[in-house]
Structure 1
Amino acid sequence: MESLLLRNGLVIDTEPEPVAHPGWDVLVEDGRIAAVGPNLSAPAGATVIDATDRIVLPGFVDTHRHVWQAVLRSIAVDVDLPEYFQLVRQELGPRFRPEDVRIANLLGALECLDSGVTTVQDFAYARADRVRSDGFVPGFDLDYAAAALDGLRSVGIRAVFAYLLTPEHQGEVRQAHELFRPGEGLLTMAAASLGPSNQKPDAVIADWRLADELGLPIVTHVAAGPVNERPIELLRDHGLLRPNTVYVHGNSLADDELSMVADSGGAFAITPAVEARLGHGGPLIGRLREAGVTTGLGVDVVTTVGGDFFSVVRAGLLTGYLSPGPHLSPADLLRMATLDGARTLGLEDQVGSLRVGKQADLMLLRADDVNLAGAHDPIGAVVSSAHPGNVDTVLVAGRIVKQHGRLLHHDLAAVRAQARSASEFITAKSVG
C-alpha cells in the first residue's frame, strides 16, 4: 500500500487524553500510522493530502449497533420498549431473508463510514427470534450469518461481529467461527449471549464455556431482570466475571454491580439516545465513570434514533448532566467515542488514537464549514456541533473509503434501491 501524508491539519489525538495540535501532519504507511507531528517529510512517491482547514482525528468506534436494522429505519420512533420488541423482534425479524440481511448490513456499514465510524460492533440476530406455537426460540441461522458478514466485508469497515449463542445451536456457532478468514484483519468474531439477565444459570454457564472454548469475547445485554434481578452478582457467584466481556445498557443495575464489573476488567457499551427514548432507565454514564468502568458509546437501533455517531456523542454529553456521578467534559466524550470504545472492544492496541503503529483508521472534518468555522475549542466543536455532513474523508486501515464528502467504491443508487426493496418485502404484511 502506498504512503499517504496528511499535511497541515488540526490534528486531535486522544491518547492519553484528547489534545488538539494545529498545523500537524499524519504519515500513513502500509495502512498504519507511521508518524504524527509538524513538518513531516513525505516519502518518495507518497500521496499528499492537504489537510489545511481540516480536523484530523481517529475514527469513531461504535461499541453496540444492530446493523441489520438499517432497512427498518425510523419504523419504531414513537414506541416504548415492549412495543419495539413486539414489532421489530417478534414480527419483522423473522421475515428477513439472507439477501435482506446482506443489503441491510451493507447499507448500515456505509452509514457508519459516512459519519466517521470506522469500527462497529455488530450485535447480529436478524431472524434470531422465531415464533412457534410454544413461544420464542432464539437462534441464528448460518446462512444469515454468512450474508451479514458478506455485507460488512464488501464495505471494508472494521467490525466485531457478535454471533448469538444459544444452547441448542452450539454447532452453528462453531460453523460461524469458520466463516472468518485467517488473517482477514478487519472482521473479528464475538459471542453474543442472551446473558444473565435473561437466562437461568445453566444456560449462562454453557454460553460462557463455549465462548472460552472458541476464544471469543462476550457481548451481552444486562438489566435488573426479567429472569435475574442481580445478573452481575450471578456471574460473580458462578466464577464468570472476567475481562473481554462487554455489558450493554445496564441502566437499572445497582452501584455495587457496576463496581463488580470494574473489578473484573469488563466494560460497558451504553447507547444514551436509545436508552433515553425507549426508557431503559436513568443515564448510566456518570455512574460508570464513578465506578471506574471502561465505557464505549453505541447507536444501538436506527429503528428508533438516528444512525450518525455525532448525535450519540451529544446524547452522552447532554444526558450525563441528568446522571448521578461526575459530569463528563466534551474531551471525555470524544475519548469515549474513540480510545475508550476501542478498549471496550479489546482493540485498543489497533485503533482509537493516533499512536504510531496503530491502524490508520482516521477521519477528516471540514473545519471551515459554517457550523464549525471560527471554533474556539476544536474538541468542543467536534462534540457539540459537528455532523456527518462535515466528514470530508474517512480511512480504514489506510484505505480511503470517503473523500470530498462522498462515499467511494459503491453504486449508492443501487444500494438504496436494493435496501428499499428489502424493506418493502419485510414490512409488506404489517405496516401500512
Structure 2
Amino acid sequence: MKTLLTGGTVLSMDPAVGDLARGDVLIEDGVIVQVAAQIDAAGAGAGTEVIDATDRIVMPGFVDNHRHTWQTTFRGIGADWTFAEWDAAIHGTVKSHYRPDDVYWAVLLGRLEALHSGVTTMLDWFHCTLSPAHADAAVAALRDAPGRSIFCYGAGWGTPDPVEAEIRRVRGGLAGDGAAGDGLLTMAYGLRGPQDTGVEGLARELDLAAELGLRTSLHTVSDGIRRPIATLHEHGLLRDTTTFVHANGVSDEELRMLADAGSSVSVSPDVELRMGFGWPVTGRALAAGLRPTLSVDDVPSAAGDLFSAMRTAFAVQRGLDGGLRSRDLLASATVDAAGSCGLGTRTGSITPGKDADLILLRTDDLTVFPVTDPAATVVSAGHPGLVDTVLVAGRTVKRDGRLVDVEPAPLMARLRASRDRIAAAAGVPLDGTWHPEPKGW
C-alpha cells in the first residue's frame, strides 16, 4: 500500500533531507521511501492514496519518553500541589483503590489523548503495579490504542515481590508483539534506584534488563548535596541504555558523566517547575554534551501535550541564559527522544527507510497564521488544536482533526465513573478543595 502526502511544508528533522517549503512524502507499506520537492502521483503507482497537505506542516510525530497515563483519571487535580503533596495523594491515597479495569480506562484514554495531540511514540512509565492483573490491564490498553507505545514496567511504589519474576512474566507475554523492538508495542524497565534497592540492587536490575534486552528509565533529582549520578558512575552503573528522568539539581560534572556514558535525560518542565524540583536542566544538559529530551510526566499536574512542554522549556531557558534555539526543543521532542527510546533508526525524523510516524499541523489556523518560520511557530505557538492528521507506521489514526474509529463519549463515561468510584472509596473530594497532607517529607 502506498500513501503520498503532497504540497506540505516539510520539517524533516534530518539534516541530510532538510526542510522543504513545499514538499511531498511517499510512504510504502508503512515506511517512508521518498521525500522530494515534488513526487509524481501517477508515477507512484495505481492505488496510491493521496493526502493533500496544502496549508499543513508535515513533521515527525512527537515522542514522549516518560508519562504515567494511569493517572489520567485525576487530571488537573494536582496543579497546585508540591511533589510531597502529589506523592501523598496519588501514591499514598488513591492508588490502592485502583482496580485493573480502572487502570485500563486511564491508560487507554491517556494514550488516545497523546495520539490526539500528535504523540506517535510514548513510553508509559507504569508504577501502579499493585498486581499482575494491573500490569496486564495497562498492556491491554496500550495494545488497543493505535500508537507506538513502550510499556515501562515501573518497579517499586508497591510492586509485589518478586520483581524479577514479574518482569520476566510481562516480557514473555509481550514477546509476540515484538517486545525486542520490532513491533508497535515494546517494553522497558523502570528502575527503582539505589535509594530503594541500594547500589547492589540497582546493579542486579540493570543486569536483568540487559539479559532481557530492555532499555531502562530511572527518576533522579539532587538537592545539591547528594551526588546520585556520581555514585552510579563510581560503581560503573551508567549505561547508554538508561534515560534519567528529571535530573534537577545534579551538577554539571554529573551531566558530563551521563554524556560520556551515552545516557539520556528526560526533562518534564511543567511538572518540575510546579512541584518545586528546581530549574529544568535543558540548557545545562546541552552544554554538557547531552541531547535533552522532553516528556509530560503526569496530567494531574500538567497538560498532556508536548507543545506545552516545549513552550515551557523554551521560555524558561531563554529567560535563564537566552541561548536555547527553538529547533533544539523540536529535536528534543522528536528525533532525540526517539534515540533515547532505542528507536532512532525507526522513527523521530522524516527519513527514507524509517517508519512513517508523521503528523500534519494546520497553518491556516488563526492562532498561527501566517507561518513564516515553521519550526519556531511549532515551538512558540503550537497547540493540539493544530493537529489535523496523524500517521503511525503509515496508518492514518487521526484525520481531519478526529481520531479514526474512536468514539470518545462512551470511553469518557467509563473513565468518569472510574474516577468517581476511586474518589469515593478513598474519601477524597473532587471539588478542588483537597490538599493532601505530605507524608514523611
Q: TM-score, normalised by structure 1?
A: 0.93
Which of 350, 355, 363 is the aligned partner of 2:351?
Answer: 355
Matched, 1:300 2:300: no
Q: 1:238 to 1:214 in 2, by over 3 A?
A: same
Matched, 1:164 2:154: yes
Which of 358, 361, 367 is the aligned partner of 1:365?
Answer: 361
> Which residue of structure 2 aligns with residue 36 of structure 1?
35
1:208-247 equivalences under 5 Å are 208-224=206-222, 229-247=226-244
Aligned residue for 2:194, secondary structure, equals coil
1:124-163 equivalences under 5 Å are 124-126=126-128, 128=129, 140-163=130-153
> Which residue of structure 2 aligns with residue 75 of structure 1?
77
Q: Is the 8 A contact 2:55 2:364 kept in 1?
A: yes
The alpha carbon displacement at 1:301 in A equals 0.6
Computed over aligned residues only, the root mean square deviation of the Cα atoms, in angstroms, reads 1.7
Which of 338, 343, 353 is the aligned partner of 1:342?
Answer: 338
The alpha carbon displacement at 1:198 in A equals 4.4
Q: Which amino acid counterpart does residue 216 of structure 2 have in structure 1?
A: I
The alpha carbon displacement at 1:308 in A equals 1.6
Give, in whole Å, the separation in 1 of the partners of 2:407 and 2:374: 34
Give, in whole Å, the separation in 2 of the partners of 1:376 and 1:410: 34
Give, in whole Å, the separation in 2 of the partners of 1:430 and 1:296: 37
> Which residue of structure 1 aligns with residue 48 of structure 2?
46
Q: Is the 8 A contact 1:266 1:294 kept in 2?
A: no
Q: TM-score, normalised by structure 2?
A: 0.91
> Which residue of structure 1 aligns with residue 89 of structure 2?
87
Q: Which amino acid counterpart does residue 351 of structure 2 have in structure 1?
A: R
Q: 1:367 to 1:268 in 2, by over 3 A?
A: same
Q: Which runs of 5+ in 2 are unaligned?
A: 430-441
1:170-319 equivalences under 5 Å are 170-184=164-178, 185-224=183-222, 229-319=226-316
The alpha carbon displacement at 1:67 in A equals 1.1
Give, in whole Å, the separation in 1 of the partners of 2:8 and 2:133: 45
Matched, 1:379 2:378: no
Q: Is the 8 A contact 2:267 2:280 kept in 1?
A: no
Question: How many pairs were matched up?
Answer: 417
Give, in whole Å, the separation in 1 of the partners of 2:81 and 2:217: 25
Q: Is the 8 A contact 1:294 1:343 kept in 2?
A: no
Aligned residue for 1:177, secondary structure, equals helix
Q: Which amino acid counterpart does residue 151 of structure 1 have in structure 2?
A: A
Deviation by residue 1:179-212 (Cα, 9 ceiling, x = unmatched): 2143541111111012135442222122112212
Give, in whole Å, the separation in 1 of the partners of 2:196 and 2:15: 37
The alpha carbon displacement at 1:376 in A equals 1.5
Give, in whole Å, the separation in 2 of the partners of 1:268 and 1:295: 5
Aligned residue for 2:92, secondary structure, equals helix
Aligned residue for 1:241, secondary structure, equals coil
Q: Which amino acid counterpart does residue 364 of structure 2 have in structure 1?
A: D
Give, in whole Å, the separation in 2 of the partners of 1:401 and 1:291: 38
The alpha carbon displacement at 1:431 in A equals 2.2
Aligned residue for 2:409, secondary structure, equals helix
Aligned residue for 1:22, secondary structure, equals strand
Q: 1:198 to 1:279 in 2, by over 3 A?
A: farther
Q: 1:321 to 1:18 in 2, by over 3 A?
A: farther
Aligned residue for 1:256, secondary structure, equals helix
The alpha carbon displacement at 1:94 in A equals 1.4
Q: 1:183 to 1:283 in 2, by over 3 A?
A: closer
Give, in whole Å, the separation in 2 of the partners of 1:303 and 1:195: 24
Give, in whole Å, the separation in 1 of the partners of 2:17 and 2:383: 19
Q: Which amino acid counterpart does residue 236 of structure 1 have in structure 2?
A: H
Q: 1:253 to 1:199 in 2, by over 3 A?
A: farther
Q: Which runs of 5+ in 1 are unaligned?
A: 129-139
Aligned residue for 2:345, secondary structure, equals coil
Q: Which amino acid counterpart does residue 28 of structure 1 have in structure 2?
A: I
Aligned residue for 1:4, secondary structure, equals strand
Give, in whole Å, the separation in 2 of the partners of 1:322 and 1:79: 24
Give, in whole Å, the separation in 1 of the partners of 2:310 and 2:279: 17
> Which residue of structure 1 aligns with residue 120 of structure 2?
118
Q: Which amino acid counterpart does residue 132 of structure 2 have in structure 1?
A: L
Q: Is the 8 A contact 1:192 1:219 kept in 2?
A: yes
Deviation by residue 1:65-122 (Cα, 9 ceiling, x = unmatched): 1011111101111111100000011111111111111111110011101110000111
Deviation by residue 1:395-416 (Cα, 9 ceiling, x = unmatched): 0011111100011122211110
Q: Which deviates further from its counterpart, 202-211 or 4-13?
A: 202-211
> Which residue of structure 1 aligns with residue 435 of structure 2?
none
> Which residue of structure 2 aligns with residue 97 of structure 1?
99
Q: Which amino acid counterpart does residue 379 of structure 2 have in structure 1?
A: V
Percent identical among aligned pairs is 41
Aligned residue for 2:292, secondary structure, equals strand
Aligned residue for 1:200, secondary structure, equals helix
Q: 1:157 to 1:108 in 2, by over 3 A?
A: same
